[in-house]
Amino acid sequence: MRQRIVAILLRLARHKPGPLRKALSLAVGAAMFLCGIPLGLLMILEPLIKPLGNPWPRGLEVLVGAPSLIGSILLLSWAVRTQWRHGGTPAPTAPTQRLITTGPYAHTRNPIQLGAMFYYLGLMTLISSLTAGLGGFLFGLIAGSFWHRRVEEQELTARFGPDYERYRREVPFLFPRLRRRP
């Protein structure tokens, strides 16, 4: 199954996306990741966590949720803008044609996943509770890491070969290093 998905992604990457394909891919991806996933998660989590009550003070939830939401939107915007400038989008239906190693991609190989995790934390905390936000963060960490490790890294290795392998060795998977390597 994984090989079939990678083959489809490689086929999609062979064609340089035009402006309409880029815009539609970005719009559909944004709707899914910014609205569909967090609302779906809330529908699943709410019945599970509601009986437990909310142990978190609302002030703490706002203190965690608001900066997470704002910071994630800034990171996601930076990452998407970087990809757009290089001729693609984060969506597999309109990928970039060359390996991007600048902007947020100089600090983490997966700034979109990192931004999504903090977006889910912030949004779900402000809408529901810190417990729901932590569930969203954990979902983003697990599901995103699974996808990137099992599928995307294989596809990028096939597309960009030694350049991607070198980038993979030099740049952290998800969380940026606090200090630069010498």
Extents of the domains making up the chain: 2-11+26-170
89-126 confidence digits (pLDDT tens): 888 888 888 999 999 999 999 999 999 999 999 999 99
Residue 181 has pLDDT above 70, yes or no: no
Looking at residue 15, what DSSP letter applies?
S
Phi-psi region of 87 (alpha: psi -120 to 50; beta: other; left: phi over 0): left
Distance CA 123, CA 127 (A): 6
Are 109 and 98 contacting, i.e. CB atoms less than 8 angstroms apart?
Answer: no
Query: Residue 150: what are its φ and ψ, rounded to 5°?
Result: -85, -30
When pLDDT is cut at 50, 70 and 90, the band that residue 17 belongs to is confident
Q: Out of 1.20.120, 1.20.1300, 2.60.40, 1.10.15, which CATH number does the structure's domain 2-11+26-170 have?
A: 1.20.120
Looking at residue 16, what DSSP letter applies?
P
Note the pLDDT of residue 105: 97
The whole-chain average pLDDT of the chain stands at 93
